[in-house]
Amino acid sequence: MLDGGRGPGTAMAMRIVVAVAGVLGADRLMPITGAHIDSCLYHGQAGLDFAQKLADLGATVAVPTTLNTSSLDLMHPGLVRLPPSEAVPARALMDAYRALGARATWTCAPYQSAERPAFGENIAWAESNAIVFANSVLGARTERYGDFLDICAAVTGRVPHAGLHLSEHRLPAIELDCSPLSSEMLGHEAVWAALGGVVGRLVGEKVPLLTGIDPRVADEDKLKAFGATSASSGGVALFHVAGVTPEALAAGWGSGSDGAFTGGGGSLDKVPVTAAMVRAMRDELTTADPSAPLDAVALGTPHLSATEFRQLAGLLQGKASFSPGCTVWINTSREVLAQAREAGTAQPAEDRGARIVVDTCTYITPILGPEERSVMTPSGKWAWYAPMNIGVDIIFGTMAECVDSAISGKVVRHDSQWA
């Protein structure tokens, strides 16, 4: 590949993979079984030039490859308010990645697909929440691959033998004792998102092990919310939850009867995480005045899952339509939206006036109207990035709080959910 035996496009990609391997001190490359490409958002001409250059040189992906959110919603033309000078190259970028052979998934949550990597598989996933979910919840192995390197790994089917692909780098480095958090409190995804914000701040890029959590409350959507915010507020690419996540289960990591960490090759520093710390993160993520009128609600960052559509439908049962002054935006993928519509779980929100967005995300692209300045969300990632990206103020809350607030047109708090 490096010498051009599989074409100039593959050689270009392999030169980049080899160069990165040298930077990482890797002694060899290793094969991967799949890739997820983050480089689909149009940030400027350089990104388009890179993808088109690979395609023009005849490169194609060597492994099954999914595509991250783009700058456009192709199912709802005109929803994204980009000028032609940006919309045209944004579409060209999407076309270039399809020409390279990648699947037009356009989602930040490729793990919501029926086809996803298995425990122990080496992959090259980009996009921070996808990386941390693959490593932690699926037990697959990926480093933090970013724009341009992601597609090069997909074209060559190889990555450096380094980082989180290696077992010795996947061991927990710090124990976070979550026993002060009640199971009732941890029954809400937004609480997990706020917990992710706390953990990201505490550990940076270290691999944490969370202990003291009832495994029955830790489903995939809660782990998704936790991972997304921990990757945003810190640099978490892998976490373990005792009794829950696959590597913790396989290794038997947890706390001994005396409270000391067992497993992983030695004792760990143990840091307690309290309900007050989680509520403080909720309040920090809230930048708007909760007493002011509410303009919008944003759900689905990372993309809303089929299970979350069912949860939303249940919260809306027997309730009125959303307030005319409050727009409800739901981000999801094409695949999940088709499932939700077939199951009838998308209709309750749509019947009440919710706006569905696919292929892109409301905290990145200009979708919200200029009058929508005060936005409520249960997503820690949306709350983390939207003020910087699109200039809105945030009220952070649970999905139940968001639903009731959207109906009333003003912020409704259920303090018992944070107790």
Residue 255 has a pLDDT of: 61
Cβ–Cβ under 8 Å, residues 324 and 35: no
Does residue 76 have a pLDDT over 60? yes
Strands (E), 187-266: 208-211, 240-241, 254-255, 261-262
Residue 256 has a pLDDT of: 58
**Residue extents of the structural domains in the chain:** 8-167, 185-282, 286-418
Please, where are the H alpha helices in 242-295? 246-251, 275-285
- For the stretch 250-283, pLDDT in tens is 999 876 545 455 655 568 999 999 999 999 999 9
> Would the CATH topology of 8-167 be identical to that of 286-418?
yes
Round to whole Å and give the CA distance between 225 and 192. Answer: 6
- For the stretch 187-214, pLDDT in tens is 999 999 999 999 999 999 999 999 999 9
Would you say the C-alpha torsion 222, 226, 232, 238 has a positive or negative sign? Answer: negative
- For the stretch 313-363, pLDDT in tens is 999 999 999 999 999 999 999 999 999 999 999 999 999 999 999 999 999
The structure's pTM equals: 0.96
CATH of domain 8-167: 3.30.499.10
Residue 254 has a pLDDT of: 78
Residue 41 has a pLDDT of: 96
Average pLDDT over residues 60-78: 97
Q: CB neighbours (10 Å) of residue 78?
A: 9
Cα dihedral angle (68, 72, 73, 77), rounded to 10 degrees? -160
Round to whole Å and give the CA distance between 136 and 65. Answer: 20
Residue 266 has a pLDDT of: 64
Round to whole Å and give the CA distance between 93 and 96. Answer: 5
Helix (H) or strand (E) holding 124: strand 124-125
User: What is the DSSP-derived secondary structure letter of residue 180?
Assistant: T
Residue 114 has a pLDDT of: 87
Type of residue found at 111: Y
Q: Residue 39, SS3?
A: coil
Does residue 130 have a pLDDT over 90? yes
The count of residues in the chain is 419
Average pLDDT over residues 156-166: 98
- The two tokens of residue 3 are 């010498």
Residue 166 has a pLDDT of: 98
Residue 56 has a pLDDT of: 98
Round to whole Å and give the CA distance between 272 and 255. Answer: 13
Instruction: Indicate the average pLDDT of the chain.
Output: 96
Report the CATH fold assignment for 286-418. Answer: Aconitase; domain 3 (3.30.499)
Percent of the chain with pLDDT over 70: 97
Residue 267 has a pLDDT of: 81
Q: Residue 328, SS3?
A: strand
User: What is the DSSP-derived secondary structure letter of residue 118?
Assistant: P
